[in-house]
A and B are shown apart, each in its own frame.
Chain A
């Protein structure tokens, strides 16, 4: 019997548990020549803000051991240009498309959510309260229980779309933030966003990144991500999308074992654009080989 690898994130049904992460997969089209998008469980779009954002100064990326730091700073065209230029292309993408939204105030999040709620081509929203590279909003919301609740609750009132809240690892107690997001009305949680980090150039005695600090991603962060996903899965009953340094189907299984419902692929896309496809296939092959019919049966002993 063919294993069923479809999963539910609230009302959203994904054909498989492998998503491509916001900021790592553009608007889908960038990878369309290299990747069979229909083999992905879904795509999470580059973060959208109300107004256009220029982003941070360059250099914005530097490779670090088994990882990379980025300080892109949410460069994006803003909501109105997104609606004109990108939204019409989304209906052609043969998998679920999730919009990632970010604001400087709770009201901005709500305004974007309202505007995107009735748009064909968008299946769910991911609320980004965890971007470490912006001076207003972003991670500052995700580091405070009350603000997390406030943002999620305000967005919840504006949309009936499935609502995913993306959490920051740059907190003392991620379970309490996770609970606040669920209390605010989150249908699912995704974690982790990047870990705040830094790298110095000893020749110039300056930081490599113009923004000085950036978000660390890649295989280096996986143990931290896994621990946090495990903590959150114990604390809440909504589906959790695990991410942070996943490079292979084996890495994905670790997240599923600690309780994640789905996984999200970020930096791995840069290394191998076919990573998402290959991971989805790898999970399916594993289930066949071990005669597992239901993905939910993959659980920690």
Chain B
């Protein structure tokens, strides 16, 4: 991990309230792997005070890309940055997706802006396996990166709550349909999206005995494992309470779905 000042090389509004930034950070990208994140200082003022974590959307020789949705003051200010502006960033941070090279078809499941880390993962996985991605959102404007995945030769299926694109339903409906009809057992699943979606994803993966890794999103302060602010409940059979709190920033953000205690 390194802290550096990165210039914004490109900025794109990919959809209403959704932005992609390409950052000049070869010293971060050379060590980065899919599923890791960067911790971004958005302003030198005291509001917002804390850095904001963003999963790495693309890893390129010149740096990294992030993809985010405007949800509050921090992301709004970030969306107002311009090409050429500089950002203080720390990265790469956390544990990313574990990738086995002798894998079968990999299934990626994204909810909304959860596609962000899955694009970097898809670019990596497609080097040695077939990749499918199932993307869900409320409506068609929230389905991101569709053409980019297709350009990689990746099979994309879409679900929207209102049926404005793809099937009317959610991404996990697509997953159930695919697994129910697939001849290959135990296909690896990789997911990122809202917690309720990840919970259903985990249940489906268990039903089909598929290994499943999910990337969690949470508020963070330090991002390096020092403050214990970003914990999540992890199953711990030896603990009297049957769980322990692990840090999303360094023990994750990617976890084996079986480890998460959903209660």
The listed residue with most A CB atoms (<10 A of its CB), out of B41, B48, B219, B244, is: B219
A132 in contact (CB, < 8 A): no
Bound-state Cα–Cα, A55 to B49, Å: 24
CA distance A72 to B230 in the complex (A): 9
B38 close to chain A: CB less than 8 A:
no
CB contact under 8 A between A55 and B222, given known A65-B47, A70-B227: no
Interface size on B, residues (CB 8 A): 33
Contact with A along B180-208 (1 / 0, CB 8 A): 00000000000000000000000000000
CB distance from A148 to the nearest CB of B (A): 26
Given A33-B1, A34-B1, A34-B2: A68 in contact with B50 (beta carbons within 8 A): yes
For the complex, is B229 an interface residue (Cβ under 8 Å from A)? yes
The chain A residue sitting closest to B46, CB to CB, is A66
Query: Is the CB–CB distance between B222 and A34 below 8 Å?
Result: no
A269→B3 contact, CB < 8 A = no
Known: A58-B232, A60-B229, A218-B49. A34 touches B245 (CB 8 A): no
Partner of A270, one of B2, B47, B50, B250: B50
Most central of A23, A34, A58, A62 by chain B CB within 10 Å? A58
Contacts A34-B2, A273-B90 given; indicate if A55 touches B228 (C-beta within 8 A).
yes
- Contact between A60 and B231, CB atoms less than 8 A apart: yes
Q: Kindly state whether residue A219 has any CB partner on chain B within 8 Å.
A: yes
Q: Given contacts A30-B225, A65-B47, A273-B224, are A58 and B1 in contact (CB under 8 A)?
A: no
Given the interface pairs A34-B2, A271-B49, the reply to whether A26 lies near B245 with Cβ below 8 Å is no
Cβ < 8 Å to A, chain B residues 220-263: 220-233, 239, 241, 244-245, 250
State whether B49 touches A26 (Cβ < 8 A).
no
Q: Quick one: which of B50, B51, B245 contacts A54, CB cutoff 8 A? A: B245
Across the interface, which residues of B come within 8 angstroms of A62, CB to CB?
Answer: 219
Q: Inside 8 A of B1's CB, which chain A residues have their CB?
A: 33-34
The answer for the CA separation of A26 and B227 in the assembled complex, in Å, is 7
- How many residues of chain A are within 8 Å of chain B by beta carbon? 35
Most buried by A among B2, B49, B220, B233: B49
Q: Of the candidates B46, B229, B233, which one forms a contact with A61 in the assembled complex, judged by CB atoms under 8 Å apart?
A: B229
Q: Contacts of A72 on B, CB cut-off 8 Å?
A: 227-229
With A23-B227, A58-B245 as given contacts, are A34 and B49 in contact (CB-CB < 8 Å)? no
Give the docked Cα–Cα distance between A55 and B233 (Å).
Answer: 11
Inter-chain CA distance A58–B246, complex, in Å, is 11
On whether the beta carbons of B51 and A271 are closer than 8 Å, the reply is yes
Q: Which of A34, A63, A70 counts the most B-chain CB atoms under 10 A from its CB?
A: A63
B47 pairs with A55, CB closer than 8 A: no
| Chain A residues, CB < 8 A from B2 | 33-34
Cα-based distance from A67 to B218 in the complex (angstroms):
18
- A34-B90, A55-B231, A55-B245 in contact; A63/B226 too (CB < 8 A)? no
Contacts of A274 in B (CB 8 A): 3
Establish whether residues A60 and B222, one from each chain, have CB atoms under 8 Å apart when the complex forms.
no
B249 to chain A: closest residue by CB: A30
- A255 contacts the other chain (Cβ, under 8 Å)? no
Question: How distant is the Cα of A25 from the Cα of B244 in the complex, in angstroms?
Answer: 21
CB of B245 within 8 A of CB of A61, answer no
Complex contact A60–B47 (CB within 8 A) = no
Contact B219 A59 (CB under 8 A): yes
Provide the A19-47 mask, 1 if CB < 8 A to any CB of B, else 0: 00001111000110110000000000010
* B50, B222, B239, most chain A CB atoms within 10 A: B222
Q: Which residues of B contact A218 (CB under 8 A)?
A: 46, 49
Residues of A within 8 A of B (CB): 23-26, 30-31, 33-34, 46, 54-55, 58-63, 65-68, 70, 72, 75, 218-220, 247, 267, 269-274
26 contacts between A and B (CB under 8 A): A23-B227, A24-B226, A26-B222, A26-B225, A30-B250, A31-B224, A33-B2, A34-B224, A54-B244, A54-B245, A60-B228, A60-B229, A60-B231, A61-B220, A61-B229, A63-B50, A65-B47, A66-B49, A67-B49, A72-B229, A75-B231, A219-B49, A270-B223, A270-B226, A272-B88, A274-B3
Binding site for A on B (CB under 8 A): 1-3, 41, 46-51, 88, 90, 218-233, 239, 241, 244-245, 250
Known: A33-B2, A46-B228, A75-B228. 20 other contacts (CB 8 A): A23-B227, A26-B222, A30-B225, A34-B1, A34-B2, A34-B3, A58-B233, A58-B245, A59-B219, A60-B231, A61-B219, A66-B46, A72-B228, A269-B226, A270-B50, A270-B51, A270-B223, A272-B41, A272-B88, A273-B224
